[in-house]
Amino acid sequence: MKIFAIRDELDPQSVDLAYLIYYEGEKRFYIELPEDADPWETPLLLSSFAKRGERTVNAYWSKLWVQQRIVPSDRQNLGQILRDNGLSEYDEYELLMLGMGRCAQDDYYLVPMAESDMPIILIDRFQKKVEDVVPLTDKHLLVFFRNGVVRKCDVQELLKKEAAFSPLLVNDALYNTVSVQAGGYGVCWGDNLNLADDQLYENGEVVPLSLDDFRSFVKNRIVNTAEAAELLECSRQNIEDLIRRNKLHPIKATPKNKLFLKNEITQRKWR
């Protein structure tokens, strides 16, 4: 993770107007605004967020702000520009770093910041980012946040608000592919469908459970095919036969292995 303060060169006090966060592995940008962000001083593209009282700028608009400060990808002599700057390919982050975020349209620039030097407001905000997510039935999500809070979120109404989410409402297999966005900024289904962390935090119902509790459950109550065969004192072929006869029900299956609830295997021994 790379962190930068966004400042104005005309400001003698060098006040931090916003913070740009870059996640290298996913090549994704986010911008965070201070709690007291003034819409009149905030960079133009970001000022509408400040006016609405939103302090986290989503990945789409953050990337757009970055793109406005670098050579566009459709520039006619782009190849020569990249070669002149020692770049082998178009990379938004590397191009942004060439001028530390400066562009001809304004006086904003970037100042690198160590993670240990992040302002308290960012540290507190990051504690409410998503740590993990588990899809549940009836379009609910079990969301684990970094501050230890766990919430059960009914996301059905959120998904109904945008037509792009409609496939998730009718396709459970697709819905179950939910994952955590880069940096914990929410949950997502692929690159284009996502729900923000603050939406989930505000709308979810607190569950008295921790991520360690959940991990302990998975560790102690989930078994694979080999472990199931050992518990039942049978072969893997017998396990497959029990599945075919609908006597065992794997909770997850891959071509090479299957996972079962240990309790189902244990109860099988009682018969």
- What is residue 110's predicted lDDT score, i.e. its pLDDT? 97
- What is residue 25's predicted lDDT score, i.e. its pLDDT? 83
pLDDT of 72 above 70: yes
Q: Which of 108, 124, 140 is the last residue of a domain?
A: 124
Best CA proximity match to 263, nearest among 246, 249, 242: 249
Angle at 59 between CA 53 and CA 65, to 5 degrees: 80
Q: Which of 164, 189, 209 is the last residue of a domain?
A: 209
State both tokens at 138: 């009836």
Kindly state whether residues 86 and 50 are assigned to the same domain: yes
Q: Which of 209, 227, 257 is the last residue of a domain?
A: 209
Kindly state whether residues 134 and 190 are assigned to the same domain: yes
Kindly state whether residues 106 and 177 are assigned to the same domain: no
The count of structural domains within the chain is: 3
Kindly state whether residues 12 and 89 are assigned to the same domain: yes
Kindly state whether residues 99 and 177 are assigned to the same domain: no
- What is residue 142's predicted lDDT score, i.e. its pLDDT? 93
Of the given ranges (2-11, 31-40, 212-221, 227-236), which has the lowest mean pLDDT? Answer: 212-221
Domain that holds residue 263: 213-269
State both tokens at 213: 């509790």
Kindly state whether residues 224 and 197 are assigned to the same domain: no
- What is residue 209's predicted lDDT score, i.e. its pLDDT? 86
Amino acid found at 48: S
Kindly state whether residues 8 and 107 are assigned to the same domain: yes
- What is residue 254's predicted lDDT score, i.e. its pLDDT? 87
- CATH number at 134 reads 3.30.2020.10
Kindly state whether residues 44 and 92 are assigned to the same domain: yes
- What is residue 255's predicted lDDT score, i.e. its pLDDT? 84
Kindly state whether residues 104 and 83 are assigned to the same domain: yes
- What is residue 218's predicted lDDT score, i.e. its pLDDT? 86
Kindly state whether residues 180 and 249 are assigned to the same domain: no
Question: How confident is the model over 120-146, as a mean pLDDT?
Answer: 91
CA dihedral 206→56→94→91, nearest 10 degrees, is 70
DSSP class of 115 = G
Question: How confident is the model over 44-51, as a mean pLDDT?
Answer: 91
Best CA proximity match to 239, nearest among 249, 231, 229, 250: 229
- Asked if residues 133 and 211 have their Cβ atoms less than 8 Å apart, the reply is no
Backbone angles phi, psi at 42, to 5 degrees: -70, 140
Q: Is 33 helix (H, G, I), strand (E, B) or coil?
A: coil
- Asked if residues 92 and 63 have their Cβ atoms less than 8 Å apart, the reply is yes
Kindly state whether residues 179 and 85 are assigned to the same domain: no
Question: How confident is the model over 109-127, as a mean pLDDT?
Answer: 90
Distance CA 60, CA 77 (A): 26
Distance CA 136, CA 187 (A): 14
Looking at the whole model, is its pTM more than 0.85? no
- CATH number at 265 reads 1.10.1660
Whole-number average pLDDT of the chain: 91
Kindly state whether residues 66 and 93 are assigned to the same domain: yes
Q: Which residues contact 248 (CB under 8 A, 6 or more apart)?
A: 228, 239, 242, 260, 264, 265, 268
Best CA proximity match to 80, nearest among 90, 70, 69, 93: 90
pLDDT of 92 above 90: yes
